[in-house]
Structure 1
Amino acid sequence: MRAAVVVRYGPPEQVVVTDVRTPEPRPGEVLVRVEAAAVTAGDARLRAGRFPAGFGVLARLGVGLRGPRARILGGTLSGRIERVGRDVTRFSPGDLVAGMTGMRLGTHAEYATVRAASLVPKPAGVRHSDAAGVLFGGTTALWFLRQRARIRAGHRVLVNGASGAVGSSAVQIAAHLGATVTAVTSARNTAFVTGLGAHRVVDYTTTPVNRLDERFDIVFDAVGNISRAEGLRLLAPGGSLVLAVANLLDTLRARGPVLAGPARERAEDFGYLLDLVASGQFAPVTEVVGGLDRLPEAHRRVDTGRKVGNLVITPHSAAG
């Protein structure tokens, strides 16, 4: 099969498409023909060996010193089951599924093995590209807002970085759950985030977040440029500060009103998000950039920090 491989940390050109052996599903796993996979900020950080401040040495010890141990990146997918491993009774060949692979990665390829427990049926009315695109940002936003910050109707929520994969998901989930959302983004994205459910938009180029004199029940920083002190200053009494991209110090100090650390990948959350997409209550905001050969371009776009929504590749598309 064809797959995009990263041997050494570095620029987008380190992503090389080559032929590798098709994996075999182990007990509890299935082999999925990958119809679509997201290209995320997490993929770009891992490709570059670029980790939040303080995590550099620890991250490289965990994921690879000179390059990622999991050389095929990509953590979300939507596709069709080709084969099932021993002890898998929930799925059969031909089933359409979507899910995430965690630190195993491996979805930037024509086929990937995935734990059956990490997959859910793909709703018939949801495109593969939308199913793969929604999961990375959607699960992060859902975990922090619903499970950690305990969002409820009437909450005032500030989303910083509201146009990216995580931020656009946070805007929609907060609005869907009855919160009043203030979105921080550039002026050119005003109509976009308003359409997702933001009640108000703050243009960070003219009104930096640290100059806001309002208070919010939840401050959700999706990009990592609000300091802990700035975020706490913006909180109303009893509020929660979500640092979705936190440095090591802030992660270690995350207690009380400060929430940080990895978001859990839960199949029940995958199903919840996909049902919202299927019912028209959540816009996946996906752009298909092409096949595996377009991955370097997708990484370059992610590296700009100005990506809107989710970029998706379709591994079985023709080259070019």
Structure 2
Amino acid sequence: MKAIVYTKYGPPEVLQLKEVEKPTPAENEILVKVKATTVSVADIRTRAFVVPREFWLPARIALGFRKPKKEILGMELAGVVESVGKAVKLFKKGDHVFAASLVGFGAYAEYKCLPEEGPVTLIPSNISYEEAAAIPIGARAALFHLRKANIESGQKVLIYGASGSVGGYAVQIAKHLGAKVTGVCSTTNTALVKSLGADKVIDYTKEDFSVKGESYDVIFDTVGKSSFSACMRSLKKDGTYINIAVVLPNVRMLWTKLTSSKKFILGQNSPETPEALEYLKELVETGKLKVVIDRYFQFEEIVEAHRYVEKGHKRGNVVIKFGAKQQS
């Protein structure tokens, strides 16, 4: 089968199209013929090995010291079940599925094996493979962290980076949970964020959200680019601050946590179960969640796709297509 392989860390050009052995599903696995995948920020960071200094050693241990342990990237996908292991009960050949492959990567290939009880489920009936492939990472991350904040109807939520993959989903999910949502983005994306349901949109290139006198129950930084001081000024005294770009609290966060009643939720991976995807599937099918796709690239154009995402200005998701676009 064809796959995009990288044998060393570096720029997009380290990605190469190669022929590799087609996988065979284990007893509890399904073999998926991949129809679409994505280029996420996580793919970019893994390929280039861009990690916070304090995580350099554990990241090297996990990903590989001298070269990548797992040579095929790709963390979300959609496709068709081609075959199943003899112990599989949840899926059958021909099922249309979408899945997160964050643990083992491997979606940049024509075929991928997945455990049947992992984060995989049937594609929403009203969207394409390409749209379905853009849900498993960004939408699950938004849902997971917003749930941890225990959002209640009527609460005020600010989403920083509201036009990105996680941010765009966070706007919609927070609205579904009953929040009054303010999105922060650049000038070119204000109309998009408004169309996703934001009650207010602030253009960060023109104004600082923290000087408007508004206070919020939850501030969710989806890109790690907001000012911590600004967020603390605008967060209610018992509010919740979410930052998925930070895994460990810094000194200022620890001090604020010790000296106030504000709560902190930092970046964590969603549980590797199908529950979140099944919930998101229902939201999509009932019209409460839509997928934003910035650009499509063909499988053979993945280097160009990585270059584009690496610039840091994508709107929503960037999707990689295997062959002609097909409907689920």
TM-score range, shorter chain: over 0.9
Aligned-partner residue type, residue 120 of structure 1: T
Aligned-partner residue type, residue 293 of structure 2: T
Distance in 1, matches of 2:250 and 2:282, equals 34
Q: 1:228 to 1:54 in 2, by over 3 A?
A: farther
Distance in 1, matches of 2:87 and 2:295, equals 35
Runs of 4+ aligned residues of structure 1 deviating over 3 Å after TM superposition are 208-213, 227-230, 247-256
Distance in 1, matches of 2:230 and 2:213, equals 11
Native 8 Å contact 1:37 1:129 kept in 2 = yes
Q: Which residue of 2 aligns with 1:258?
A: 264
Distance in 2, matches of 1:87 and 1:40, equals 32
Q: Which residue of 2 aligns with 1:104?
A: 104
Aligned-partner residue type, residue 310 of structure 2: D
Instruction: Give the Å deviation of 1:260.
Output: 0.9
* 1:232-256: CA deviation from partner (whole Å, max 9, x where unpaired): 3321122110011115444995976
**TM-score, length-scaled by structure 2:** 0.91
Structure 1: any 5+ residue segments left out of the alignment? none
Distance in 2, matches of 1:223 and 1:26, equals 37
Distance in 1, matches of 2:289 and 2:61, equals 38
Q: Which residue of 1 aligns with 2:287?
A: 280
Q: 1:48 to 1:212 in 2, by over 3 A?
A: farther
Native 8 Å contact 2:35 2:129 kept in 1 = yes
Instruction: Give the Å deviation of 1:159.
Output: 0.6
Aligned-partner residue type, residue 185 of structure 1: C
Native 8 Å contact 2:247 2:267 kept in 1 = no
Native 8 Å contact 1:175 1:197 kept in 2 = yes
Q: Secondary structure at the match of 1:94?
A: coil
Distance in 2, matches of 1:215 and 1:194, equals 20
Q: Which residue of 2 aligns with 1:158?
A: 158
- Identity of counterpart residues, as a percentage? 37
* 1:34-54: CA deviation from partner (whole Å, max 9, x where unpaired): 011121110111011011342
* 1:102-134: CA deviation from partner (whole Å, max 9, x where unpaired): 220101111101111121111322211111112
Distance in 2, matches of 1:212 and 1:137, equals 29
Q: Which residue of 1 aligns with 2:144?
A: 143
Distance in 2, matches of 1:240 and 1:249, equals 14
Native 8 Å contact 1:33 1:110 kept in 2 = yes
* 1:46-103: CA deviation from partner (whole Å, max 9, x where unpaired): 0110113422222112111233311111111111101111311111111111111222
Native 8 Å contact 2:38 2:318 kept in 1 = yes
Native 8 Å contact 1:55 1:247 kept in 2 = no
Q: Which residue of 1 aligns with 2:297?
A: 290
Matched, 1:89 2:96: no
Q: Which residue of 2 aligns with 1:233?
A: 233
Q: Secondary structure at the match of 2:5?
A: strand
Aligned-partner residue type, residue 239 of structure 1: G
Aligned-partner residue type, residue 129 of structure 2: H
Distance in 2, matches of 1:52 and 1:226, equals 17
Q: Secondary structure at the match of 1:102?
A: coil
Native 8 Å contact 1:98 1:131 kept in 2 = yes
Instruction: Give the Å deviation of 1:182.
Output: 0.8
Instruction: Give the Å deviation of 1:287.
Output: 4.2
Of 302, 306, 313, which aligns to 1:299? Answer: 306
Distance in 2, matches of 1:213 and 1:181, equals 16
Matches within 5 A, 1:130-209: 130-146=131-147, 148-209=148-209
Q: Secondary structure at the match of 2:305?
A: helix
Aligned-partner residue type, residue 36 of structure 1: A
Native 8 Å contact 1:126 1:274 kept in 2 = no
Native 8 Å contact 1:54 1:248 kept in 2 = no
Distance in 2, matches of 1:131 and 1:231, equals 33
Root-mean-square deviation (Å): 2.1
Q: Which residue of 2 aligns with 1:67?
A: 67
Distance in 2, matches of 1:288 and 1:113, equals 27
Distance in 1, matches of 2:295 and 2:188, equals 21
**TM-score, length-scaled by structure 1:** 0.93
Matched, 1:22 2:22: yes
Distance in 1, matches of 2:247 and 2:269, equals 15
Instruction: Give the Å deviation of 1:312.
Output: 0.9
Q: Secondary structure at the match of 1:143?
A: helix
Native 8 Å contact 2:6 2:71 kept in 1 = yes
